[in-house]
Structure 1
Amino acid sequence: MTPSPGAAQPLPAAELLARSHRLGADPRNTNYAGGNTSAKGLAPDPVSGADTELMWVKGSGGDLGTLTEPGLAVLRLDRLRALAEVYPGVEREDEMVAAFDYCLHGKGGAAPSIDTAMHGLVDAAHVDHLHPDSGIALACAAEGEALTAECFGDRVVWVPWRRPGFQLGLDIAEMKRANPRAIGCVLGGHGITAWGDTSRECEENSLSIIREAERFLVKRGRPEPFGPLLEGYGPLPDDERRARAAALAPLLRGLASTDRVQVGHFTDSAPVLDFLARAEHPRLAALGTSCPDHFLRTKVRPLVLDLPASAPLDEVTARFGRLHEEYRAEYAAYYDRHADTDSPAMRGADPAIVLVPGVGMFSYGKDKQTARVAGEFYLNAINVMRGAEAVSSYAPIDEAEKFRIEYWALEEAKLRRMPAPKPLATRVALVTGGGSGIGKAVAHRLAAEGACVVVADVNAGSAAEVAVELGGADRALAVTVDVTDEAAIAAAFREAVLAFGGVDLVVNNAGISISKPLLETTARDWDLQHDIMARGSFLVSREAARVMTGQGLGGDIVYITSKNAVFAGPNNIAYSATKADQAHQVRLLAAELGEHGIRVNGVNPDGVVRGSGIFAAGWGAQRAAVYGVPEEELGEFYARRTLLKREVLPEHVANAVFALTGGELTHTTGLHIPVDAGVAAAFLR
């Protein structure tokens, strides 16, 4: 019988998950989503109930540190090992991945990865395949084989580079048979593999290889493997460095998005800055990254600025334009050198990694996590280069092999299986007043549609709470900003571009409301109302336009105005006049920014009582008094006076913002959408 969904995990699977989590928790052991682990053992056949020898192995995709049971592929070992008898040879070994499906046990769990053969063919109960920086440093050193022997003796054996696949599994299995004292191997140009009779022994052997390699590189290595410091290439002072990074971020994101829009990530970590300050960094960067996992994320090599840190910004900008053109031409030539009739189409010629001496590293991907991980992988590559150069010279696999990995048909098939992107994927939104009410609802809707969201609010706590609700640092950023303060707005946009690479979509929502008759409205009331909403919207839109024009990717600016922008009601002079100002800003900016592909539109809500920060702060009581209804019935009162007799909620306003920005209204600008359930007096004429 098939085990019930709530059945306990078999012991080998439970041990495997625990081991995987420990190994994956330490970045010294393997990179994100890199490597795989396995365990062999007995479990009942789902049909006969007889004990069957199985293997649990991390499936395709996923990360060791967060691996769960559904992420394991479960295969019958008898069938898996029998594949060796029908293996057609290295020229056709990609066909073996499809054959793994015929070895699955029951429903089989996750899809088996290309490394399944390595685990199944090696005669050991437990196997770890990992990508530690120290192991890859030996694997990518010019004298890697000799250094491996010097470091480990006969306990760890060298296996020459071979692309991951069935033949590599056969190679490792044969090496283990020929070297019975070996606890593992260094895979040339790739990583390490270790094994053991028990899960604990396997883990201890993996960690022993990694730590011994670390100690060997330190003890045996020469100082300053990246060469002497280059004059003028050292890190800029902290504030100057971050300001320069923020100034460059929109330009670089625009260049990196020439073929398809990307999200960005920035780091100025000490290892990156030191690498870029040294004489050998141009040579090493040109050699490209190392482990196959690395250049799948980072592309074959980075784009490197060849100017000192103190170069004037206009000179840097012009130089990046030329370097980007050269990079694209070189990448296209790389593709043409190695592509054949069966190769997938070129996926784009823009860099995934951009290195700026004195400033840091910008990395790019289809979302924030992918961009961040690409940067982490290049940091891994820097560590590998340092280790290899310390004991030998850095010698990654050759370009043709890199191309075979990057444009592998199996990788292409994996990309095609990925779900379609959400409508706002790759877009970065900034929502003012995003900590409550309409702004919070807008932030949630934009994030749900795939956007990265900067939650900007004068209340730091509210902004932080919403950012956590949206999914944390890879999805959202909280910034504290008073929209009447030019410096605070500029700082908020600097944080946004450093977090996500740029800004594409801005929602002017921050506001207050002062409801008083004309004779009771003070000049201070008038100034405060206009400073926050009219002046604040102008300042935010101006900063947004600077970033968006710098990117060259177009963009959206949406104003949350009000039906009061066109409707004349009593006791509301300051608020309604301000909303009319905002409404005309929409028209003016739509006319001015259209040539840059920036669309400017507005949403005119009315009667948004529930969940509204403005109504909760006293506006509700004031308006209820004007209309002579209890405050708790104000929402119903507003609904009764509409044509549709429906109450308007923050989520309805958020729906309109998405309708304007989600990709269907690509030719619409200067529009105001009423979200008021039908107020005839506020019809737009």
Structure 2
Amino acid sequence: MTTARQTVDALLERSNALGADPRTTNYAGGNTSAKGTDTDPVTGQDVDLLWVKGSGGDLGTLTEKGLAVLRLDRVRALRDVYPGVEREDEMVAAFDHCLFGGGGAAPSIDTAMHALVDVPHVDHLHPDAGIALATAADGERLTREIFGDAVVWVPWRRPGFQLGLDIAAIQEQNPQAIGCILGGHGITAWGDTSQQAQQNSERIIREAQTYLDTHGDSRPFGAPDASRHALPEAERRAKASALFPVIRGLASTDAPTVGHWTDTEDVHEFLAGSKLEGLAALGTSCPDHFLRTKVRPLVLDLPADATTEEQVARLRELHETYREDYTAYYERHADQDSPAIRGADPAIVLVPGVGMFSFGADAQTARVAGEFYVNAIRVMRGAESVSTYAPIDEAEKFRIEYWALEEAKLRRRPAPKPLATRVALVTGGGSGIGRATAERLVAEGACVVIADLNLENARTAAEELGGADHAVAVRVDVSDEDAVQQSVAEAVLAFGGLDLVVNNAGLSLSKPLLETTAKDWDLQHDVMARGSFLVSRETARVMIEQDMGGDIVYISSKNSVFAGPNNIAYSATKADQAHQVRLLAVELGAHRIRVNGINPDGVVRGSGIFAGGWGASRAKVYGVKEEELGEFYAQRTILKREVLPENVANAVFALTAGDLSHTTGLHVPVDAGVAAAFLR
């Protein structure tokens, strides 16, 4: 007899295997289940249970915590109180009364399907090949032709209790069947063992894909239009980085977003096809797809070689039209019980020759939206290759997009963090103050580009902060104009634009005036004065194009106002940075870009500058041991406290998190109190 532990372990193994391939099921889509027995701790008797992936989980990364656990007899008893399709949403709340013990994750709308189908193991998936058949105009005929009576066609029905009843009846009436194609939606398969269910799911997907490959038209998107072919890679990347801030600003009209750029063969094949506009206008079909991509994308109707200026002007026109059309779509279908419109901006923007731009409330959501639209492209390719793509109609899409259950799911999301949707660039971000700042910004919800001369340090920091959905690394010599421009372009391609810039890169050589060479002077001014000027100029271009405001923060120094000994070059360049703050605050204020500075005392711990020789030089100047330098600095302050990298990072957060929204041109001392550096 199979134990509950074995049942759960087999379910998780199957789920992870099926969820590992995005062509099998999309991120956070589909669900799997297993039925078995466990001991009721109250009665000591065996009880029949259903373990099913809960709401919002992802099959590829599913763990036991992501399973809802319900008493099977109680779920099936709901058939006796089911009030009918017009009130079927009430059944989701009823699932809570069927939970076993703590119940695990919240049950999803598909729970009924898994409970009512009288087979031990059930999979519901959204494979590209399966949805291609599900959205083909003659999908029912194709299903019979491909599978005979092994797979049954189910006409479109919105997910819910009635769909569960329908599939249960079909399984009972077709004992020879291994599963079904759900019109407009996906597939469901089952088996007597976990292994058999997985094999049946994979068989349906494999045979569907084989049929599409062997019977499909080689040009499902129509004749390729040479004027919309992908541009050469370097030109494509340059155009994408130029357009992205503009597009992100447009997509953030109602609410700020983060962006993702997709530059794959699938996307470019679709963008170059003569059917592009017609297919894009039909929108996606699978509920999981259009919930994340919106009902349809915005398509730029210009050739790939149009100038950036022409593209920007046309994008602005099309955006206005898109917003009007989306608002009209909402008004056509909304009734008094519908949730309020959630914003009329596109989630997907398609630019022939350049690629796809997708948007969301964070980097992962933006990336996943793009992945979903790639799934939709593959679905359209399959359907068009053997038939005609015929997604569910607009009214049905609206019913799901503005479904009360989806609205409830959105309300359960945690409140956004203070820096959510903000994209930051931190120079010198691989160590010391820069690294601490990057850590704090990511912790507060920002996406961070860690720019550093030492790319290895930057990459290590980015990986430790969670990888590409949270932080990316770029190499930059801030004194090199071309390198700064390239690093800003890479930052834009990573997350769609820039909102928050921290000019932190620096170095220092401690020498008295007569020992300071012109080379010493030029090096420090090149890195800090020239470098921060270049970074501010290039990032301000991006912020102005976005038209979303922004923050530029200079990590200057108390030495910008304090006449410390043997420090002429360093202190002079820090004074230069301090005045850049004032000048740029005035110049950029009209664009809602705030510019502020932070004046730390010497930060010894974790500092690349101090570790690189500056610490030994300053210790010699003050006549202390290098390892005692931090304590020496602390004792000369009013508060008698050493300044640490995280203290500076805290000040960056305070300046940029929103509470100081009306502050610009300010210098914040983070020096534990150095009276000689008081600003007044």
TM-score, with normalisation over the residues of structure 2?
0.99
Is residue 434 of structure 1 aligned with residue 397 of structure 2? no
For 1:273 and 1:156, the matched residues in 2 are separated by 34
1:526 maps to 521
In structure 1, list runs of 5 or more residues that go unmatched. Answer: 1-7
For 2:268 and 2:469, the matched residues in 1 are separated by 23
Helix, strand or coil at the partner of 1:157: strand
Is residue 41 of structure 1 aligned with residue 11 of structure 2? no
Q: How does 1:627-666 map to 2 (within 5 A)?
A: 627-666=622-661
Deviation at 1:569, TM superposition (A): 1.3
Judge conservation of contact 2:509–2:614 (CA < 8 Å) in 1: yes
For 1:499 and 1:636, the matched residues in 2 are separated by 40
Helix, strand or coil at the partner of 2:226: coil
Bigger mean CA offset, 204-213 vs 218-227: 218-227
1:406 maps to 401
Deviation at 1:28, TM superposition (A): 2.1
2:614 maps to 619
1:170 maps to 165
For 2:646 and 2:240, the matched residues in 1 are separated by 36
For 2:509 and 2:577, the matched residues in 1 are separated by 16
TM-score, with normalisation over the residues of structure 1?
0.98
Aligned counterpart for 1:295 among listed residues 283, 290, 298: 290
1:28 maps to 23
Is residue 676 of structure 1 aligned with residue 640 of structure 2? no
Deviation at 1:248, TM superposition (A): 0.2
Is residue 216 of structure 1 aligned with residue 196 of structure 2? no
For 1:379 and 1:125, the matched residues in 2 are separated by 33
Is residue 63 of structure 1 aligned with residue 61 of structure 2? no
Helix, strand or coil at the partner of 2:228: coil
For residues 69-99 of structure 1, give each alpha carbon's deviation from its aligned partner in whole angstroms, at most 9, with x where no partner exists. 0100000011000000000000000000000
> What letter is aligned with 2:660?
L
> What letter is aligned with 2:570?
Y
2:78 maps to 83
Deviation at 1:290, TM superposition (A): 1.5
Judge conservation of contact 2:217–2:385 (CA < 8 Å) in 1: yes
2:410 maps to 415
Is residue 356 of structure 1 aligned with residue 369 of structure 2? no
Aligned counterpart for 2:6 among listed residues 11, 32, 36: 11
Is residue 97 of structure 1 aligned with residue 92 of structure 2? yes
Is residue 154 of structure 1 aligned with residue 121 of structure 2? no
Judge conservation of contact 2:4–2:36 (CA < 8 Å) in 1: no
Aligned counterpart for 2:120 among listed residues 102, 125, 134: 125
For 2:61 and 2:564, the matched residues in 1 are separated by 57
For 1:559 and 1:41, the matched residues in 2 are separated by 61
For residues 328-354 of structure 1, give each alpha carbon's deviation from its aligned partner in whole angstroms, at most 9, with x where no partner exists. 000000000000000000000000000
> What letter is aligned with 1:489?
V
Aligned counterpart for 1:347 among listed residues 342, 348, 365: 342
For 1:208 and 1:434, the matched residues in 2 are separated by 49
Bigger mean CA offset, 628-637 vs 394-403: 628-637
Deviation at 1:268, TM superposition (A): 1.0
For 2:673 and 2:41, the matched residues in 1 are separated by 61
Percentage of pairs with the same residue: 76
Q: How does 1:144-543 map to 2 (within 5 A)?
A: 144-543=139-538
> What letter is aligned with 1:30?
T
Helix, strand or coil at the partner of 2:318: helix
1:140 maps to 135
2:572 maps to 577
> What letter is aligned with 1:459?
N
1:5 maps to none
Q: Provide the aligned length of Structure 1 versus Structure 2.
A: 678
For 1:231 and 1:444, the matched residues in 2 are separated by 46
For 1:595 and 1:355, the matched residues in 2 are separated by 31
Helix, strand or coil at the partner of 2:8: helix
Judge conservation of contact 2:512–2:566 (CA < 8 Å) in 1: yes
> What letter is aligned with 1:612?
S
Helix, strand or coil at the partner of 1:310: coil
Deviation at 1:231, TM superposition (A): 3.1
For 2:346 and 2:659, the matched residues in 1 are separated by 29
Bigger mean CA offset, 79-88 vs 489-498: 489-498
> What letter is aligned with 2:421?
T
For residues 100-119 of structure 1, give each alpha carbon's deviation from its aligned partner in whole angstroms, at most 9, with x where no partner exists. 00100011100000000000
For 1:46 and 1:298, the matched residues in 2 are separated by 45
For 1:110 and 1:259, the matched residues in 2 are separated by 32
Helix, strand or coil at the partner of 2:598: strand
Deviation at 1:9, TM superposition (A): 6.1
For residues 219-275 of structure 1, give each alpha carbon's deviation from its aligned partner in whole angstroms, at most 9, with x where no partner exists. 221220111011311111111011100100000000000000000000110010011
Let me know the Cα RMSD of the aligned residues: 0.7
Helix, strand or coil at the partner of 2:187: strand
Judge conservation of contact 2:260–2:493 (CA < 8 Å) in 1: yes
For 2:647 and 2:423, the matched residues in 1 are separated by 21
Q: How does 1:543-562 map to 2 (within 5 A)?
A: 543-562=538-557
For residues 585-620 of structure 1, give each alpha carbon's deviation from its aligned partner in whole angstroms, at most 9, with x where no partner exists. 000000000000000000000021111111111111
> What letter is aligned with 1:85?
D
2:582 maps to 587
For residues 462-491 of structure 1, give each alpha carbon's deviation from its aligned partner in whole angstroms, at most 9, with x where no partner exists. 000000111001101100000011111111
Judge conservation of contact 2:4–2:37 (CA < 8 Å) in 1: no
Helix, strand or coil at the partner of 1:29: coil
For 1:446 and 1:46, the matched residues in 2 are separated by 47
1:4 maps to none
Helix, strand or coil at the partner of 1:515: coil
For 1:614 and 1:337, the matched residues in 2 are separated by 62
Deviation at 1:514, TM superposition (A): 1.0
For 2:595 and 2:174, the matched residues in 1 are separated by 69
Bigger mean CA offset, 622-631 vs 279-288: 622-631
> What letter is aligned with 1:414?
K
For 2:293 and 2:455, the matched residues in 1 are separated by 35
Helix, strand or coil at the partner of 1:10: helix
Judge conservation of contact 2:4–2:38 (CA < 8 Å) in 1: no
Judge conservation of contact 2:23–2:375 (CA < 8 Å) in 1: no
For residues 197-235 of structure 1, give each alpha carbon's deviation from its aligned partner in whole angstroms, at most 9, with x where no partner exists. 000111100000000000111122122011101131111
Deviation at 1:29, TM superposition (A): 1.1
For 2:555 and 2:267, the matched residues in 1 are separated by 42
For residues 559-586 of structure 1, give each alpha carbon's deviation from its aligned partner in whole angstroms, at most 9, with x where no partner exists. 0000000011110000000000000000
For 1:83 and 1:229, the matched residues in 2 are separated by 53
Bigger mean CA offset, 605-614 vs 85-94: 605-614
> What letter is aligned with 1:142?
A
For 1:458 and 1:72, the matched residues in 2 are separated by 46
For 1:285 and 1:214, the matched residues in 2 are separated by 22
For 1:570 and 1:61, the matched residues in 2 are separated by 60
> What letter is aligned with 2:509?
I
Judge conservation of contact 2:257–2:359 (CA < 8 Å) in 1: yes
